[in-house]
Every structure is written in structure tokens, then in C-alpha cells.
């Protein structure tokens, strides 16, 4: 296949979205170019889909998201350069005073956008933590037994692996500040306040405390997510207010100082405790839901998760999964269903690759399969096979359900938070018993195999001339 000319594609993207003047924010994740537009009503999604290198288009979280795949950074760099955004400023200077009318849909989109923008940049550090937690699990006494719990290597892997999650308020303080257009250093500082040893000791001792005389429910904010996101979101408005109102000669000193003065009671007395309670409620809710629907619930997550990806709603489950994992150190409801759903995409791609007759279409399907298994990128297959040909979606959903059903029955959970969906994601089942790992592998293989077989046998190829675009279904 010819290499995509991303410079030309970037020019067409800008034309279709109304030019660089219409772009408010630009970012990307592992597979998607994410554009926040000032006016998006006139954008034609079908025209965007026709641009070379773009597999699909979806709207979620207040964004237009272009599905590109692993080479998304190439398109991102070209669009960023043409739109004249700098590395440290992917957001325009548009004021936020002209907001359109309130609606539940828009509020939901803002929440999804905020969660996604705060969590996605932190994924590399979660991967680093997962790598060291994996070392701890494999060499420790519960698996290979190469190191005792007091050995230097085991202890090193343990505390390095715990670092990302313990200091989540600082890490997410930075990423959420970038997302909400606040000072990243202020986000880091606010997260650091929440983790200060003095405050943590007060929480451990259950001591009474107040901020400016306001009673404070002291919490341990290590391994938490929502308190800092909520706090930085509010801080972005407070900081912007002081930056806009304080004269230039005093701004550099007074604006950050007064921002923290205002944020201390808001964070420590209101949003921090509220976010911690909300996080615990989400964790307990997942545990309670698992108790009600049991293994069928895991199967349903396996069947439906990729459909949530299409809408962008999957970020809610991801955030819930992280909250539950941070609280309990493991997760056996959403995580195994997600694993089954991911391997089902790989199976769907393999079934399509084996069944398609057109050489170009077959080549693309094999590419999607390799991207899924090696790199853990599911969206090219989801859009390039599932959405394009329709019936393979049945195979994917059936495979995800079957794999999730087995994992649910065996109560196989994730004891290592590995934010990958390739073969290495199977290692998320380490850290507990060997049986947990074995059942995890079997469940994912079931999802993969069932999806591949269903995709192969349920779809039909169409005999046509080499010049005609071949479809799998009629």
C-alpha cells in the first residue's frame, strides 16, 4: 500500500472543519485526532471519511474525532502546523463567554471531554507502573518465587510500581490543568498540597481540622482521581479571573497566590471530600453491580464495550475501572469484560482477513489484525471492518460475550492495571493466583476464537470484477 500523504490530508481536514480559525483545541490519543471546534454544525462527517488516512469519524465528548490508527501523530503534527498551534498551546484564545444554551447532552459531553483529556495523557505513566508491578508479581513468591518479599529487587519493583498511583493527584493535576487551560505548575502544586505528609497524617489519625474555620472532612488523597480533576477544573476559572483582573505589575505574584488562597477551602473542604466520596461510591457501585448481575454482567461488558467506544461513552467505564482499581487493588467486573471485548476485535479482524477476496481489502484486514494483536490498537479494525461491513460486528459482539461469560463464571479479574489491549494485556491477570492467569488467557482466547469463526461463517463475499469494490455482505 502507498504511504499516506498526511500533509495533503491535513489540508483537506482544515478545509472540511472550516479552517484553522474554527479550531478551538487540538489533541490526539493513541488512534484519534481530537478536534474541539467553535462551530461544528456545518461539518460533513462523510466528507471527512473520504480523506486519505482517515478510517472513521465520530462525535463524542464535545469533539469531532477522526479515527486514524497508529499513525495519528503524523496527521496531528501536520494539522497542528497548518493551524499554527505551538507545542505548548494546542488551544486557541477563544473566550468562553459565548456559550450556547444549556442542555443535559452538552453537560455530558463536557464531562466526557474533561475525563478523557485528563486521563489519556497519563496512560504512559500507568504503563510504566504496570511494567514494574508485573515484575513484582512474576518474580515474587506467588508466581515464580525468584525473590522474597524483602529482597531489594522485589521492594524496588513494588514502590516504583506504586508511585504512579500514589501520586495520581500530582500527575492528574498536571494533565487536567493542561486540559482545562490552567497553569500546569498550579495543577501540580494543588495536587501536592493534597498529598502533603502533614495532611495525610491528619487523615490517618482521624484528627479534626478546618480551613479558615471551615470544618474539613480530612481524606487520604493518594490513589484518587476525581478530587483533583474537580479541583483543577474550578481552579481554571479562579486563576483566569485573577489573571484578567490583577494589573500586570502585580499579576505574577498575586494571581497564583490568591488562586491558591481561594482554592484551599474549595479543594480541602468541598471538592476533595466530595470527589473522594463519589469515587468510593463508584467503586462500591461496581462491586454491588457485580453482585447483582454476576457473570452475566461481565459477559455484557464484553459484548457491548466496543459499541461504547463508538460513542465515546467508554471513558465512563474506564474512569470507573481506574477508581475501583485504585480503591481495591484489583477489578473483576469491567476489566475482564473489556479484555474479552478487545480480543474479540482481533478475532473479527482475523476472520475478515481470511474471508475477504479482494487483495486490497484483505491486506487492510491483515493490517488491522496485526495492529490489534501487536500494538493493541482496536479502532482501525472496529471502523475498518466492523462499521464498514456490518455483519462482522455480530461476530465481535458474540465473541466478546462468550469470552466475558467464561471470565465471569471463573471470577477471573485484573490484579495489575495494564492500559493495553494487545497480547501483553493478558499479563493484567497476573499478581494473584496462577489459576487466575490461566483462566484469563482461556477467556480471551475464547473471545478471539468465537469472534473469528462467527465473522468467517456469517459473512459472504461477492464475486465481482477486480475494479469493483468488494463487500463482505449484501
In three-state secondary structure terms, 27 is strand
Would you state the pLDDT for residue 465? 33
Residue 134 grid cell: 508485573
Q: Give the residue from 318, 339, 348 showing the smallest Cα distance to 443.
A: 339
189: region left, alpha or beta (phi > 0 left; psi from -120 to 50 alpha):
alpha
DSSP string across 196-244 = -HHHHHHHHHT---EETTEE------TT-SHHHHHHHHHHHHHHHHHHH
Place of cell 478487545: 342
Residue 128 grid cell: 510504566
- Residue 105 CA to residue 66 CA, distance in Å, equals 21
Kindly report the pTM of this predicted structure: 0.70
Would you state the pLDDT for residue 348? 94
The question of whether 349 is a catalytic residue gets the answer no
Quick one: DSSP state of residue 472?
A: S
Q: Residue 64: enclosing H or E segment and its boundaries? A: strand 63-67
Residue 360 grid cell: 486490497
- Residue 326 CA to residue 222 CA, distance in Å, equals 9
Each of the 474 residues of the chain gets a pLDDT tens digit; together they read 457 888 888 888 888 888 888 888 787 776 788 888 888 777 888 888 888 888 888 876 667 888 887 778 888 888 888 887 754 445 444 444 444 455 566 666 677 778 878 887 888 888 888 888 888 888 888 777 898 888 999 999 989 988 988 999 999 999 999 989 899 999 999 999 999 999 999 988 988 999 999 999 998 898 888 899 999 999 999 999 999 999 887 888 899 999 999 999 999 999 999 988 888 787 777 667 766 778 898 999 999 888 887 766 677 778 888 888 888 888 888 899 999 999 999 999 999 999 988 888 888 889 888 878 877 777 778 888 888 888 899 999 999 999 999 999 999 999 988 877 788 888 889 888 889 999 999 999 999 999 999 999 987 655 333 333 344 444
Would you state the pLDDT for residue 315? 74
Helix locations, 312-391, DSSP H: 314-328, 334-355, 359-370, 379-381, 388-389
Residue 321 grid cell: 475501572
Place of cell 490568591: 258
The answer to whether the beta carbons of residues 78 and 6 sit under 8 Å apart is yes
Q: Which domains are assigned to the chain?
A: 13-94 (3.30.1360.60), 121-284 (no CATH), 330-458 (no CATH)
Return the biggest CA–CA distance within the chain.
80
- Residue 296 CA to residue 3 CA, distance in Å, equals 44
Would you state the pLDDT for residue 56? 80
- Residue 389 CA to residue 386 CA, distance in Å, equals 6
Positions of E strands within 72-218: 210-211, 214-215
The answer to whether the beta carbons of residues 347 and 399 sit under 8 Å apart is yes
Q: Residue 67: enclosing H or E segment and its boundaries? A: strand 63-67
- Residue 339 CA to residue 341 CA, distance in Å, equals 5
Options 4, 29, 289, 300, the catalytic residue: 29
Residue 331: beta bridge partners? Answer: 414
Would you state the pLDDT for residue 202? 92
The answer to whether the beta carbons of residues 168 and 224 sit under 8 Å apart is yes
Amino acid at each position: 500500500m502507498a504511504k499516506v500523504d498526511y500533509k495533503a490530508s491535513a489540508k483537506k481536514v482544515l478545509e472540511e472543519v472550516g479552517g484553522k480559525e474554527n479550531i478551538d483545541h487540538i489533541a490526539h490519543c493513541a488512534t484519534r485526532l481530537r478536534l474541539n471546534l467553535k462551530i461544528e454544525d456545518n461539518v460533513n462527517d462523510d466528507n471527512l471519511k473520504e480523506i486519505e488516512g482517515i478510517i472513521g469519524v465520530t462525535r463524542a465528548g464535545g469533539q469531532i474525532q477522526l479515527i486514524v490508527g497508529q499513525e495519528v501523530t503524523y496527521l496531528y503534527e501536520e494539522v497542528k502546523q497548518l493551524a499554527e498551534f505551538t507545542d505548548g498551546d494546542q488551544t486557541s484564545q477563544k473566550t468562553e463567554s459565548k456559550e450556547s444554551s444549556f442542555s443535559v447532552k452538552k453537560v455530558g459531553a463536557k464531562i466526557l471531554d474533561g475525563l478523557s483529556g485528563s486521563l489519556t495523557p497519563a496512560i504512559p505513566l500507568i504503563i510504566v507502573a504496570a511494567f514494574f508491578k508485573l515484575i513484582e508479581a512474576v518474580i515474587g513468591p506467588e508466581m515464580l518465587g525468584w525473590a522474597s518479599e524483602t529482597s531489594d529487587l522485589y521492594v524496588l519493583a513494588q514502590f516504583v510500581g506504586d508511585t504512579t498511583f500514589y501520586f495520581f493527584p500530582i500527575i492528574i493535576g498536571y494533565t487536567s490543568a493542561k486540559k482545562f487551560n490552567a497553569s500546569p505548575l498550579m495543577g501540580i502544586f494543588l495536587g501536592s498540597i493534597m498529598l502533603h505528609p502533614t495532611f495525610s497524617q491528619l487523615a490517618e489519625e482521624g484528627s479534626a481540622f478546618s480551613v479558615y474555620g471551615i470544618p474539613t472532612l480530612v481524606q487520604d488523597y493518594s490513589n484518587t482521581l476525581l478530587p483533583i480533576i474537580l479541583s483543577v477544573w474550578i481552579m481554571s476559572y479562579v486563576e483566569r479571573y485573577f489573571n484578567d483582573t490583577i494589573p500586570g505589575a502585580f499579576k505574577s505574584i498575586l494571581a497564583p497566590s490568591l488562586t491558591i488562597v481561594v482554592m484551599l477551602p474549595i479543594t480541602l473542604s468541598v471538592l476533595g471530600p466530595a470527589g473522594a466520596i463519589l469515587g468510593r461510591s463508584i467503586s462500591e457501585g461496581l462491586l454491588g453491580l457485580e453482585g447483582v448481575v454476576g457473570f452475566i454482567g461481565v459477559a455484557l461488558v464484553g459484548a457491548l464495550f466496543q459499541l461504547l467506544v463508538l460513542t465515546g461513552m467508554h471513558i465512563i467505564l474506564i474512569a470507573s475501572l481506574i477508581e475501583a482499581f485504585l480503591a481495591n487493588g484489583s477489578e473483576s467486573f469491567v476489566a475482564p469484560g473489556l479484555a474479552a471485548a478487545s480480543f474479540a476485535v482481533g478475532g473479527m479482524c482475523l476472520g475478515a482477513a481470511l474471508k475477504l477476496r479482494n487483495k486490497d481489502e484483505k491486506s487492510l484486514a491483515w493490517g488491522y489484525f496485526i495492529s490489534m494483536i501487536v500494538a493493541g490498537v482496536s479502532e482501525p479494525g472496529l471502523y475498518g471492518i466492523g462499521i464498514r461491513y456490518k455483519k462482522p460486528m455480530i461476530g465481535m459482539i458474540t465473541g466478546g460475550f462468550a469470552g466475558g461469560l467464561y471470565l465471569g463464571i471463573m471470577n477471573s479479574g485484573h490484579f495489575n492495571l495494564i492500559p493495553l489491549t494487545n497480547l501483553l494485556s493478558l499479563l493484567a491477570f497476573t499478581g494473584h493466583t496462577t489459576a487466575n492467569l490461566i483462566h484469563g488467557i482461556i477467556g480471551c482466547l475464547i473471545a478471539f476464537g468465537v469472534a473469528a469463526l462467527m465473522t468467517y461463517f456469517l459473512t459472504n463475499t461477492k464475486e465481482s470484477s477486480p475494479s469493483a469494490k468488494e463487500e463482505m455482505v449484501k
